[in-house]
Chains A and B, each alone.
Chain A
Amino acid sequence: MRVVIAEDHALLRDGLTRILEAFEFEVVAVVGRGPDVLPTLLECKPDVAVLDVRLPPTFTDEGLQAAIAARRQMPGLPILVLSQHVEPLYARELLSDRRGGVGYLLKDRVGDVAQFVDAVRQVAGGGTMMDPEVVARLLDRSRPLDVLTPREREVLGEMAAGRSNAAIAAKLFITEKAVSKHINNIFTKLGLPVSEDDNRRVLAVLAYLDS
């Protein structure tokens, strides 16, 4: 699997490269500056990109902007965005094209190497991965999605974190069948159109972020 990495900090750049290469990814390009990200992505057309949010020269949110721009030009290009802090606002912007293949994780998660590599693979496969921190911050809010039952909100939170039905079932100690039922209820209650399952999951997460 071909990967492009954008990260300005030399230590983290080396660390990411080393981890991904140890797990049989092919790192085709490593960039350290914001303006280089988009051209590199367009040129290399990787299977997945791992981008840092804050990059030189302005050290603001170049990585995020590049991710959104790249997906506008190459719809559905799988991108995993890494950051030292997560903002639900950024998550919403990343998901706003209503396609899958997006991840948004704290850099800390890279330390759990197996899980991180799994997340990269899932994003590459069109999944949606939101950092548990984003989910937790949304769950803390005083105005949750009123129409959903507490259990359904829990399931939705797990979906946002990128978990499969089986994983959600295991986490919440319920059967997979119960999970599908909850998910279907969520789709219905949120008025999401009947379409490909993955896309609906993204839309549900987006609704969750928008609430």
Chain B
Amino acid sequence: MLIDVLSLLPESWVRHLPVLVVLGPMLLSPICAAMPKWRIAWALALFGIITSSVFAFALLQDVMAHGRISYALGGWAPPLGIEFAADMLNAPVLVLVSVIGVLATIFAMPTIVQDINEEKRSLFLSAYLLCFAGLMGVAITGDAFNLFVFLEISSISTYVLVAIGGSRDRRAFTAAYNYLIMGSLGATFYVIGIGFLYAATGTLNMADMASRIPEVADSKTIHAGFAFIVAGLALKAAMFPLHQWLPNAYTYSPSFVTVFLSATATKVAFYALVRLLFSVFSPELEFQQVVFTWVLAPMAAVAAIACSFQAVFQTNIKRMLAYSSVAQVGYMLMGLSLASAAGLSASMFHMINHALMKGALFMAVAGVVMSLGSSQLKDFAGVARKAPWTATALGISALSLVGVPLTAGFLSKVALFQAALMQDWWWAVVVLAISSVLAVLYVGRMLETVFFKTPGPAQLQVKEAPLMLLIPLWVLALGSIYFGLDASFITSLTDGAANVAFSGGQP
């Protein structure tokens, strides 16, 4: 289904693809900051992210054709130098992040006019590019310490992005501050963990680490390192109960930031967790199995139920979707903690679908909020009448969130069920089923309000979202339907990813 992007690129570029996916946005970021006209900065950002996504696609095709690609940064050969490595586990993540990035950037055009003061817009876009580059970097790097660096690049710029919402709603400042404290804790934990691993193995290169860990696996150093790393990354991925930063950050940041973060940031952190757990450590390690069965899986179950339950009682639609995100992270962690190829594949499948639907949901909500000025659920009464296109896309994505057949969300849920059944984890299936029923409750409440309640005078002022918002919104919504009818492309990618994870990172 892909055009052969690879053959369109000159040979000399293809060799440098791994670094090119990060380089463009990163170099454009300071240029953006200096732009006096924010529209030029926006065009530059869009250009940078589009090139990045083209390179990501090319890289994916290269990996599909040739297997793992290793790139030595600055010509210093790994394991001493920093290595960028692309394989089937991270190439799909790169494509996901960059495609969402392109759509989010288009979406940014109409929304930042409303949300952000004119003099700050260029700076805002600059921070956004930096955040994007950081996320791509986390996904591409093959070096454990370098991953920390990129994680911090993306996180620190994210704090800025969230805090910019403060000019409209001052609660964004506390949300950003909270996020900063929690995020820094997470990053610190991660780097402490890496320190332990370095002490035990003497290397920072992931592939190298993976080959040395089994010899020293039974030491306290490795155990401690493992615990720090899992806690740090789980915090970034908003794993229950380390998710407290997320609802406020999603609710009060500018709508563009919410869309971008919900569809990418937690996904990349989740990827990093998978990378560390499966291709640095290994699910065969005894202590890791204990953590999977007794820590990750129960936490995932609690998240899937408790956070869905919390979502049911939210009055703010953005906050409701934020809690739903935490619950969905629970789904992914559940698949991961099965420690099987099927489980991991299902979890990655769900991760991709969730990026599509949550991105679309937040976009649609933003589209209505633009002319309504409120994100309270009760204020959404009957807005479908005045904004049918926005509301329909919202409806489609919401159904995908519930996991209604003919949407992508259904297939990934079935995949999760199946993977759990393969290991006789009946309780996990029951948990996911209960969580889905709760999702019917909160999604049903939202859809009923949007489509069937009688609009008041304020709602009759609602206008259809601008075209620049509708286009990315509908691309995502149609994506949810398309992959609900034919998900063979995604599953081939996620199966490949699971394959890589279980063959220890080697092709």
| A and B are interacting partners | no
Which residues of B approach A to under 8 Å, CB–CB?
none
Which residues of A approach B to under 8 Å, CB–CB?
none
